[in-house]
Structure 1
Amino acid sequence: LRATPLAAAMLVLAPLCWTFGSQWSRHLPLPPGLMGSAAEMLTGGGVLLLLSLLMGERWGAPSAASLWALAYLTVFGSLLAYSAYMYLVAHTRPALATSYAYVNPVVAVALGVGLGGERLGALGWAALGVILTGVLLVVWPQRAPTAGPATDPAIGEGA
């Protein structure tokens, strides 16, 4: 990060932009249902395509592994996960909608351990436990505040 301050600034700016966009999307006239998610993803893809052309990105023939990765991200990362996220943004409180940020690393580590043959030490398992506990606390049902004893304004303090 010391070598590229612009990259460091972008790392700070990216989650702020994501939060702003997520909250702003509640007030935009998007198509209902999955078409709203599709409109957002197509717009984002178009902007990234334009930026790649403007920045002179090199396009080459993709490998089989990269095509499989693209298929996985298209189905699970976009169609399922992003659509579920947009549903949560529209129908739940922000703390619950953004809990994906805590769940995603757990899923990534589980996939790495289960499918990628990665090893996780005791500290890593403890960290996953802390993350899952935090997610559990966020999604725990909230109770409505209970009212105190009813008082009759007609009865004075001296009665």
Structure 2
Amino acid sequence: MVLLVVLAAVSWGLGSFTSLRITLPGDPLVATAWQLLFGGLVLTVAGACAGEGLHPSAFSATSLAALAYLVLVGSIVAFSCYAYALAHAPISKVSTYAYVNPLIAVVLGAVFLDERITIVTIAGMALIVASVVVVVRHEARRTAAVRAGAAAEAA
């Protein structure tokens, strides 16, 4: 299991890095579709190798609604936004989504599933938000310094 988590993190990072260096389709939705297709194929193979199977008898209205939500919002909308952001913002800012997503998941779990949010959870969420703020502010300062240096050279 740990190997799969590491492989997933490496694959995501490698995909984000290479997406800036290879020719992608001009339409972000087409690029997103290709990325989701290949990601789905890799996960299907990994699941088959791990002995996972499809059990239609275990489907319920709730599980099908959750799947529809994940396909529409979690994949199509969110991944399209991510691909757009990668093309238009520094990767250091775009990558902060990875820290914010668990925060959103905790809040959604509390709102829709009545999950408890403890003081430890709140402390962790505060640490995540503070970390994202530090990364974004550092990137903004670095960008401003580069612009100032370029302006000084041009003058």
> Which TM-score bucket, shorter chain as reference?
0.7 to 0.9
Query: Measured at CA, do residues 30 and 15 of structure 1 come closer, stay the same or move farther in structure 2, by a change above 3 Å?
Result: same
1:100 is matched with 97
**How far apart, CA to CA, are the structure 1 residues paired with 2:51 and 2:3?**
22
Q: Which has the higher helix share?
A: 2
Letter in 2 for 1:107: I
The answer to whether 1:70 aligns with 2:67 is: yes
Given candidates 2, 8, 11, the residue that maps to 2:2 is 8
String of CA shifts for 1:17-60, please: whole Å, max 9, x gaps. 21011111222322122111111112222343455556664322
Once the two structures are superposed, what CA deviation does each residue of 1:34-88 show, in whole Å capped at 9, x if it has no partner?
1111111122223434555566643222221221111110111111111111112
Once the two structures are TM-superposed, the CA of residue 123 in structure 1 deviates from its matched residue by 1.9
Greater CA radius of gyration, 1 or 2?
Answer: 1
Give structure 1 stretches of 5+ with no counterpart: 1-6, 151-159
Residue from 31, 35, 44 that aligns with 2:39: 44
Partner-residue secondary structure (3-state), 1:27: coil
Q: How many residues align?
A: 142
> Where does residue 30 of structure 1 map in the other structure?
24
C-alpha distance in 2 between matches for 1:109 and 1:76: 17
Between the aligned residues of both structures, percent identity stands at 39
Among 97, 121, 130, the alignment partner of 1:124 is 121
| Closer/same/farther in 2, CA of residues 13 and 53 from structure 1, 3 Å limit | closer
1:142 pairs with 140, 143, 147, which one? 140
**Aligned pair in 2 of structure 1 residues 130, 57: CA closer, same or farther (>3 Å)?**
closer
TM-score, normalized by length of structure 1?
0.76
C-alpha distance in 1, partners of 2:125/2:77?
A: 23
Q: CA separation in 2, counterparts of 1:48 and 1:14?
A: 10
RMSD, aligned CA = 2.3
Residues 107 and 42 (structure 1), Cα distance of their counterparts in 2 relative to 1, 3 Å cut: same
Of the three residues 45, 50, 59, the one matched with 2:54 is 59
Scaled by the length of structure 2, what TM-score is found? 0.78
Q: Which residue of the partner structure matches residue 133 of structure 1?
A: 130
Residues 101, 54 of structure 1: alpha-carbon distance in 2 compared, 3 angstrom cutoff: closer
Pick 1 or 2: higher relative contact order, CA cutoff 8 A, min separation 6. 2
Structure 2 gaps, min length 5: none
Match of 1:79 in 2: 76
**Change in CA separation of 1:12 and 1:48 when aligned onto 2, cut-off 3 Å:** closer
SS of residue matched to 2:115? coil
